[in-house]
């Protein structure tokens, strides 16, 4: 009789144990590879988003001041405990054809005090060059140079300056959606200087005895800000998700020597340059930029830093204090909130731009 050979119970148990160990090892390796792939993919996505959005912002910072009064080329809200707000003149709205002036703006005939909410009265039909660029009521006909298109969720900004006295600085706000009222000879627009929050732009400096007669004007503007949902927005439209912070600093060459002067001493030989005297917003605990306190015709450089983070946390990095990018990154004069490592991977891009339309007149 032929005998049939089979595995013993001990052999089966050993085989199952080995198979279990190998399976656990393979599953752990697969989980690690999946996590690593997700982290690398999110970091790559964050870096790609940074490059795309900063290309747009850099381009608009570079052309700000195009054919508008230099004193109203730029305005911003500098905050130490929240993302800054950048407002630049809207070069796209300007049609240079047949223009002989480089101080195009809508004259303000009443309503300005620069605090909270103003209803500005504007001379003319809300165009600064006679050629409307935006369609405010979505009827297919362009009717204004100011962005107030609630149907598309687009609401721009306004920069206000004294065309005769640029040393009074600038003030700025966001248009209240649907408030633009266009007439043939006069128009109105409601401006929120607090940008929907508690801290906002400051008014223009008061007239001094030696100043020229005031000539207040409104300039169409583009508003960049980071909202409470960590989204970078342009005129209310989301450009990018997962943007944690945006910080600004400005170089005003007060003595026209081409060098950043003032604190700290000795001045740094290489960028990023810092100074309480000529680079407001650049030093933690130092001089804050206030739009009404600086003559923007002396502006020579804008420095903007954007901090973007991954969509999800990396659990393996959350408790690793040695990782410099898994905690809040404070730039310029930003005060970092007290928080432990959170596992988000962060990337920072800093751009320094010299506006080409300021300082040449």
Question: CB–CB of 106/124 below 8 Å?
Answer: yes
Rounded mean pLDDT of 83-94? 96
Band (pLDDT 50/70/90 cuts) for residue 187 is: very high
Rounded mean pLDDT of 289-311? 94
* pLDDT attached to residue 5: 65
* pLDDT attached to residue 45: 66
Please determine, for residue 9, whether its predicted confidence score (pLDDT) is greater than 80: no
Peptide bond into 264 cis (omega under 30): yes
Which position has the higher pLDDT, 178 or 325?
178
Please determine, for residue 292, whether its predicted confidence score (pLDDT) is greater than 70: yes
* pLDDT attached to residue 1: 52
Which position has the higher pLDDT, 335 or 54?
335
Q: Is 118 part of any domain? A: yes
* pLDDT attached to residue 7: 64
Ranges 30-39, 54-63, 248-257: which has the least confidence: 30-39
Q: Is 90 part of any domain? A: yes
Please determine, for residue 227, whether its predicted confidence score (pLDDT) is greater than 90: yes
* pLDDT attached to residue 310: 83
Which position has the higher pLDDT, 360 or 189?
189
pTM: 0.87
Highest mean pLDDT among 198-202, 261-265, 270-274, 291-295: 291-295
* pLDDT attached to residue 324: 66
* pLDDT attached to residue 98: 84
Q: Is 55 part of any domain? A: yes
Q: Is 4 part of any domain? A: no
The tally of domains found in the chain comes to 1
* pLDDT attached to residue 358: 94
* pLDDT attached to residue 56: 86
Q: Is 144 part of any domain? A: yes
* pLDDT attached to residue 326: 79
Rounded mean pLDDT of 118-141? 94
Which position has the higher pLDDT, 274 or 28?
274
Q: Is 17 part of any domain? A: no
Mean pLDDT for the chain overall: 88
* pLDDT attached to residue 267: 79
Q: Is 33 part of any domain? A: no
Ranges 84-93, 145-154, 341-350: which has the least confidence: 341-350
Q: Is 87 part of any domain? A: yes
Band (pLDDT 50/70/90 cuts) for residue 34 is: low
Residue percentage of the chain with pLDDT more than 70: 88
Rounded mean pLDDT of 9-36? 68
Band (pLDDT 50/70/90 cuts) for residue 113 is: very high
Q: Which domain holds residue 276?
A: 40-353
């Amino acid at each position: 009789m032929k005998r049939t050979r089979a595995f013993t119970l001990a052999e089966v148990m050993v085989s199952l144990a080995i198979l279990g160990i190998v399976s656990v090892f393979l599953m752990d390796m697969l989980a690690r590879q999946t996590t690593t792939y997700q982290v690398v993919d999110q970091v790559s996505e964050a870096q790609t988003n940074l490059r795309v959005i900063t290309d747009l912002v850099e381009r608009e910072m570079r052309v700000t001041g195009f054919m508008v009064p230099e004193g109203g080329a730029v305005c911003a809200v500098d905050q130490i405990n929240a993302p800054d707000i950048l407002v630049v003149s809207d070069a796209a709205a300007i049609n240079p054809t047949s223009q002989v002036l480089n101080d195009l703006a809508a004259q303000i005939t009443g309503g300005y005090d620069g605090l909270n909410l103003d209803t500005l009265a504007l001379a003319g039909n809300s165009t600064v060059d006679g050629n409307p660029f935006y369609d405010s009521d979505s009827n297919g006909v362009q009717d204004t140079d100011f962005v107030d298109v609630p149907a598309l969720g687009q609401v721009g900004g306004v920069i206000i300056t004294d065309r005769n006295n640029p040393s009074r600085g600038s003030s700025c706000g966001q248009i209240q959606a649907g408030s633009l009222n266009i007439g043939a000879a006069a128009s109105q627009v409601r401006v929120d200087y607090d940008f929907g929050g508690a801290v906002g732009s400051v008014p223009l400096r008061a007239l001094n005895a030696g100043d020229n007669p005031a000539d207040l004007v409104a300039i169409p503007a583009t508003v960049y800000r980071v909202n409470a949902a960590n989204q970078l927005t342009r005129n209310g439209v989301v450009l990018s998700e997962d943007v944690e912070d945006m910080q600004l600093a400005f170089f005003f060459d007060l003595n026209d020597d081409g060098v950043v002067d003032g604190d700290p001493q000795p001045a740094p030989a290489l960028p990023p340059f810092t100074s309480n005297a000529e680079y407001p917003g650049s030093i933690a605990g130092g001089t804050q930029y206030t739009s009404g306190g600086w003559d923007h015709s002396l502006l020579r450089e804008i420095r903007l830093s954007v901090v973007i983070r991954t969509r999800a946390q990396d659990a393996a990095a959350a408790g690793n204090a040695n990782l410099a990018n898994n905690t809040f990154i404070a730039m310029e004069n930003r005060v970092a909130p007290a928080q432990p490592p959170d596992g988000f991977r962060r990337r920072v891009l800093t751009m320094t731009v010299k506006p080409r339309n300021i300082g040449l007149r």
